[in-house]
Chain A
Amino acid sequence: MRSDLFLIICLIVAGVVFAAAVLLGNDYYFFAGYVVLQYVVLSTAWNILGGYCGYVNFGSAAFFALGAYAAVAVHRFNPLPIPVLVLIGGVVSGIVGFGMGYLTLRLRGAFFAIATLALAVVLQTLVVNWEYVGGSRGAYIVRPEAIAPLGSYIRYLFLIMLLLAVGAITAARLIERSRLGYGFATIRDDELAAEASGVPTLRLKLIATTISGALMGMAGAPLPYYIGFLQPSSAFGLDYAVNSIAMPLIGGTTSWVGPLIGAVLLGSLQQIATVTISSAVNLLIVGFLLVGFVIIAPNGIIGLVHRYIRHQPDKLVGRRHVNIDAPGSTR
């Protein structure tokens, strides 16, 4: 399928989702849906580096929070429309992603993952000590009650996140099928052999960290308007880092479909658990599911599906067979 056609289909699906949420007539669905969509963007972004290139990033929360704090900083200076803030958040996190890549990409496997975790801690410390955006006390953002012609403001935020999700998925799919995607796959498989085949591995890894970071920052930019009160501990929350890894792993990491399935499933489950049981149970669910999937379906839901239709594995999703042990595993 061509990419422009794919984008159109995505937009139609997004339109249906939005219309359905409006028809349900309860703003709660927008609040819950926003979170799920935010995870679709985050896990798709994580997967570009983690799934395609095999570099496990534990610092997703940092890129996400950076987007959010970029929005806060700009808002305090001079309020701008959210789509502009999304772009600014993307640029800021993209630059940090590039920098992180440059500093850490000589590391592989667990060492790279630890370095990304360290980056998150460093950035959180910086934000805690940055008074302009509220420091450790946090920052209030007063969001307008309503916006024309959508009605309540949460619908506007939901719509933005919906479009971001469409953009992220389209970009991921485009990468997957391009020369870049082939290059990423060789990095995941064997960097020495990739270099010997002419793949500029360092440059490609920097492209991956930049795109991945930028998308995470974009997902974070509307957050202050969504929660109204942003503090470092919530923006840099463990949930974001864990979920953006768990969702692609549960869905399957070698195709754009995996993070989408994982985020929608796990994200919805968490939202349901939040209202029916408690919000604290969320990470427990993730933990159990992750352990279960590692044992039963190490290649995620896509891997499971492939196993059942082995005789025609290419038909359903993507071009590639899915068979990796886990992203970042060393052979």
Chain B
Amino acid sequence: MTAMLEVDGLGKRFGGFVALEGISLSVRAGERIGLIGPNGSGKSTLVNCICGTLRNEAGTVRFDGQLLDGATAHQRTRRGLARTFQLPRPFVSLSLADNLRIPLLYTVAARAGGHRSVSEIVQRCGDLLREVGLERKAARLPRELTQVEMRKLELARAMAAEPKLLIADESMAGLTHSEVEEILMLLNRLNEQGVTIILIEHIMRAVMSFSQRLVVLVSGRKIADGDPNVVMRDPEVERAYLGQ
């Protein structure tokens, strides 16, 4: 299979602090990748570099065969690269339905053949909200939501962009057992529809059950990449997680 995402030698510094160094990563179309690492290991920075929120100083990111150098965040989203934020960032003055309307208006409509009528957009917003179980709160504002619902909204907004690759940055933090299952089912369903998914997560149970491949970052470097069960037995990974 062809590579959906190809990160090559990616490096990012904040002043003197090296956040990422020499990260190379290849993700095939349709794959489910788990990305783990201790706090501060550079997971979110990597996501930000891939999605164009931050500019990487070294290395390249290739998405769907095209080099992303210099492409802005919105251009990357339009090409099919969607993400959620670790801390949900809803549009606070817009209703839930309108929150989902934004990617439909600005991303889906910007693609060839993506134009939809107003009623189709309303319909699609409703469908997406139903998929994450928020349909009864369509007219509410984000501030009326619980943390869990906020994460679902975040996910729904990324899904609304109809991505080829979805990067879910800690979508499950703080969720209960059953809620984690719910989100996992949602992600699995998306994956079955052909969406490639990178899951960044601390909840190991979720990561292990979801991922076909596990990538481990420690202090800005990739230390392991492969079958989840093999990776978890890797002594270096054990050392990073459990200490010696």
Contacts and interface: CB of A to CB of B under 8 A. Distances in A.
Contact of A189 (B83, B94, B157): B94
Interface in A185-222: 185-186, 188-190, 192-202
A323 B103 CA distance: 22
B229 interface: no
A150 to B, nearest CB: 43
A198 B93 contact: no
Contacts of A192: 53, 73, 85, 89
Nearest to B140: A321
B53 A185 contact: no
Residue of A185, A201, A314, A322 contacting most chain B CB atoms (<10 Å): A185
A199 B83 CA distance: 14
Contacts of A50: none
Given A190-B91, A254-B93, A321-B95, A200 B74 contact: yes
Main SS of chain A's interface residues?
helix
B37 interface: no
Contacts of A201: 74
B141 A197 contact: no
B93 A194 contact: no
B102 A197 contact: yes
Contacts of B202: none
A323 B82 CA distance: 28
Interface in B124-175: 139, 141, 143, 157-158, 160-161
B230 interface: no
A196 B77 CA distance: 6
Interface stretch (B9-17, B105-113, B176-184, B193-201): B105-113
Contact of A320 (B72, B74, B93): B93
A249 B78 CA distance: 35
Given A182-B101, A193-B85, A198 B91 contact: no
B85 A185 contact: no
A185 B110 contact: no
Contacts of A324: 92-93
B6 interface: no
B105 to A, nearest CB: 5
A202 B74 CA distance: 10
A193 B89 contact: yes
B90 interface: yes
Contacts of A311: none
A196 B94 CA distance: 16
A183 interface: yes
A322 B141 CA distance: 10
Interface in B56-113: 72-74, 77-78, 82-83, 85, 89-95, 98, 101-103, 105-107, 109-110
B51 interface: yes
A199 B94 CA distance: 15
Contact of A195 (B77, B92, B95, B158): B77
Contacts, number: 98
Contact of A182 (B90, B94, B139): B94
Interface residues of B, number: 34
A201 B91 CA distance: 14
A183 B94 CA distance: 11
Nearest to B84: A196
Interface string A88-132: 000000000000000000000000000000000000000000000
Contacts of A2: none
Nearest to B100: A197
Contacts of B107: 197-198
Contacts of A196: 51, 53, 73-74, 77, 82-83, 85, 158
Contacts of A185: 91, 93-94, 98
A198 B106 contact: yes
Contact of A183 (B51, B53, B106): B106
Interface string B217-243: 000000000000000000000000000
A197 B100 CA distance: 9
A7 to B, nearest CB: 20
Residue of B77, B91, B139 contacting most chain A CB atoms (<10 Å): B91
A193 B83 CA distance: 9
A198 B94 contact: no
Contacts of A189: 90-94
A192 B105 CA distance: 17
B70 to A, nearest CB: 14
Interface of A: 179, 182-183, 185-186, 188-190, 192-202, 254, 314, 320-324, 331
Given A198-B103, A198-B110, A321-B141, 8 more contacts: A186-B91, A190-B89, A195-B53, A197-B74, A197-B107, A198-B102, A320-B94, A320-B95
20 contacts: A179-B105, A182-B94, A183-B105, A186-B94, A190-B90, A190-B91, A192-B53, A192-B73, A192-B89, A193-B89, A195-B52, A195-B73, A196-B74, A197-B106, A197-B107, A198-B106, A200-B106, A320-B93, A320-B94, A321-B141
Interface of B: 51-53, 72-74, 77-78, 82-83, 85, 89-95, 98, 101-103, 105-107, 109-110, 139, 141, 143, 157-158, 160-161
